[in-house]
Structure 1
């Protein structure tokens, strides 16, 4: 990874533990053995946002409809979880057939708009692959989006050099072609396990 992306300590918020607990308590997992990720069907709202992309253009969730989408919150100065996760997701999608690769998209939402302008965001996501879209927005927009999916993020006090750490969830949210929430993926799942779930979603109804 390029050294221009400074390394800073990152706190990771437990991956929406309240949602996972709700899933376990309500017994809404369906046939759990079918999925490696947690089945969140019906437990969260459909994919919806109005942000800007890494070209500085306003976009909405409708601009990316028709594909299975993986949503991940992070920031470009993240020293560990973000680059590791994006690298894994790129390996997962790269391992699909060319036809299936076109059916999957990763949406990386930066929750650090003060530092992650479109140019920086574009350089970052391009480093990890072609099927990754960088998104960001005003802090209020980002907080509303995080709240929509029952997570949050926060900023620590800047150090002497002005840099600061950002706490955020490590969860990956997976939505089907219609934007319905389907899976919550933990970053500790193997690439093969994630790929299995993506292929199953892509092939639904085909």
Structure 2
């Protein structure tokens, strides 16, 4: 009987040690959307004037954001936020891309997008397309946007969602960041995604 108890204890100890060998579950600071949003998929035009798709960014963690260059507040604030995250990531930022999808294709030419996004980060890419192409991508990620009526000077604003969609290196939707999420929280979670790919 004593032998049986000793053997049982040994088996339990081995089981606990083996359980400890597995990778610990990831603790996210941002909203975990794994399995709730579709994979990264689009066919648009880059700020270099080239046709690109989600496949061009496989292997990188992607931060997808919908905005426009004439945006007076939330877009430059968000882009500055993302640029700060990239700086905090250091060399690891080489495996991260910011994709800025324009919701104002009438004004956001590829050249203007390039000037805008690279002012924040050299690892940012501006994307544009036809109204239909952009609407398709926006619907895929439940992004709402609408151009307001132009003023007397012809200028107008575009109301739009402000979340940042974060995809892993395989193109799977993993996290959602909002303007309330800190730079440290985003950096922490992106590092975890990068570490899980290495």
TM-score (norm 2): 0.85
Shift of 1:126: 1.3
* 1:32-71 superposed matches below 5 A: 34-71=27-64
Shift of 1:150: 1.2
In the alignment of these two chains, the number of paired residues is 175
Q: Deviations over 1:76-95 (max 9, x none)?
A: 00011000000110111111
The aligned residue for residue 74 of structure 1 is: 67
Rounded Cα–Cα distance in structure 2 between residues aligned with 1:65 and 1:133: 14
Asked whether the 8 Å contact 1:143–1:152 carries over to 2, the reply is: no
The aligned residue for residue 142 of structure 1 is: 134
Q: Does 2:83 align with 1:90?
A: yes
Shift of 1:151: 1.8
Aligned-CA RMSD value: 1.4
- Unaligned runs of 5+ residues in structure 1 are 1-30
Q: Does 2:166 align with 1:174?
A: yes
TM-score (norm 1): 0.82
Shift of 1:141: 0.8
* 1:1-206 superposed matches below 5 A: 34-98=27-91, 100-206=92-198
Asked whether the 8 Å contact 1:35–1:197 carries over to 2, the reply is: yes
Rounded Cα–Cα distance in structure 2 between residues aligned with 1:102 and 1:204: 16
Runs of at least 4 residues off by over 3 Å: none
Asked whether the 8 Å contact 1:32–1:39 carries over to 2, the reply is: no
- Unaligned runs of 5+ residues in structure 2 are 1-23
